[in-house]
């Protein structure tokens, strides 16, 4: 299976890439930095960067596109101090617009696959039901990514492309901190199982890494 994973230079993305390769898949990751080995350069915020990588991979069918690249720029900031509009803009540029730009850039590659799938890494913090306060920008961006994914699921279903939206768990990464519940390898294994289970019958699902349904 040909897999493309954005934001695979660290954390969950890196674990997804390593685990997929270990399963025998032909997986490629991306990084906003300088590409090397199995990492290709991609800035999901930049349409030109998305187009450049799409052109580089133009003859490659993609069976699974994982939109994983994300930022949490307000981490540790008080909720009443998030008044810089650029902080909002930069977060949404990666966490929401970046998902859309990536999906659109590689839609032709997905259509070349006999069994294409699109997976979007959101978060339980994007759930409107689980609104626990604080982290307003990140929560809003992940809620928007969830909404985007569910709408993409509607529009891409007639084209035979299921879309799943996933909470990777509270994972021990720079973003999740060492106090988190699970490691990146466990999260990656669970997510890859969820991607395997994704179908047109379950398109638009919002699930945890372990298969539990997430409240919208």
Report pLDDT digits (tens) over 31-51: 998 767 779 999 999 999 999
Task: Summarize pLDDT for 139-160 with one digit per residue, the tens.
Answer: 999 999 999 999 999 999 999 9
CA distance 136 to 212: 25
> Are the C-beta atoms of 167 and 123 separated by less than 8 Å?
yes
Q: What is the pTM of this model?
A: 0.94
CA distance 104 to 31: 18
Q: Which domains does the chain have, with CATH numbers?
A: 2-208 (3.40.50.720)
Task: Summarize pLDDT for 164-205 with one digit per residue, the tens.
Answer: 999 998 775 555 455 557 788 899 999 999 999 999 999 999
Name the residue among 68, 66, 77, 216 with its Cα closest to residue 137: 77
């Amino acid at each position: 299976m040909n897999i493309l994973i954005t934001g695979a230079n660290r954390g969950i993305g890196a674990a997804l890439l390593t685990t997929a390769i270990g399963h025998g898949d032909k997986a490629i990751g991306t990084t906003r930095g300088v590409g090397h080995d199995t990492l290709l350069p991609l800035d999901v915020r930049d349409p030109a960067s998305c187009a450049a990588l799409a052109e580089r991979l133009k003859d490659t069918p993609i069976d699974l596109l994982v939109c994983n690249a994300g930022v949490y720029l307000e981490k540790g900031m008080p909720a009443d101090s998030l008044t810089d509009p650029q902080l909002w803009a930069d977060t949404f540029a990666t966490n929401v617009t970046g998902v859309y730009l990536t999906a659109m850039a590689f839609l032709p590659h997905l259509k070349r696959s006999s069994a294409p799938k699109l997976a979007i890494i959101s978060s339980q913090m994007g759930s409107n039901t689980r609104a626990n306060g604080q982290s307003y920008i990140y929560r809003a961006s992940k809620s928007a990514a969830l909404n985007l994914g569910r709408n993409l699921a509607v529009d891409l279903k007639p084209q035979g492309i299921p879309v799943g939206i996933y909470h990777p768990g509270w994972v021990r990464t720079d973003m999740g901190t060492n106090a988190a519940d699970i490691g990146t390898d466990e999260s990656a294994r669970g997510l890859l199982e969820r991607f395997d289970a994704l179908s047109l019958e379950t398109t638009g699902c919002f699930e945890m890494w372990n298969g539990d349904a997430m409240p919208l």
